[in-house]
Amino acid sequence: MNNTLYIIFGGIFMLYLIVTITTRTKSKQRKSRKFMEDYKRKDTDE
């Protein structure tokens, strides 16, 4: 009985780690300038 609780909590903890790692890498990609490379600002003097 006690082992099943540890297994369940271990699985939940692994899912939590996976989710936090993926969100962290996506936020780093978002903060990097790669997605802004092709962005061209419209000239306001027109």
Digit-coded pLDDT (tens) for 1-46: 679 999 999 999 999 999 999 888 777 666 666 556 666 666 665 5
User: How far is the C-alpha of 46 from the C-alpha of 39, rounded, in Å?
Assistant: 19
The model's pTM is: 0.53
How much is the pLDDT for 39? Answer: 60
Confidence at residue 30, expressed as pLDDT on a 0 to 100 scale: 65
First to last CA, the chain: 74
pLDDT at position 10 is: 96
Residue type for 8, please?
Answer: I
Give CA–CA dist 8/39, Å, rounded: 46
Please report the pLDDT score of residue 33 as a whole number.
60
The DSSP element (H or E) to which 24 belongs, if any, is: helix 2-31
> Measured between alpha carbons, how far is residue 18 from residues 25, 41, 46 in Å?
11, 37, 49
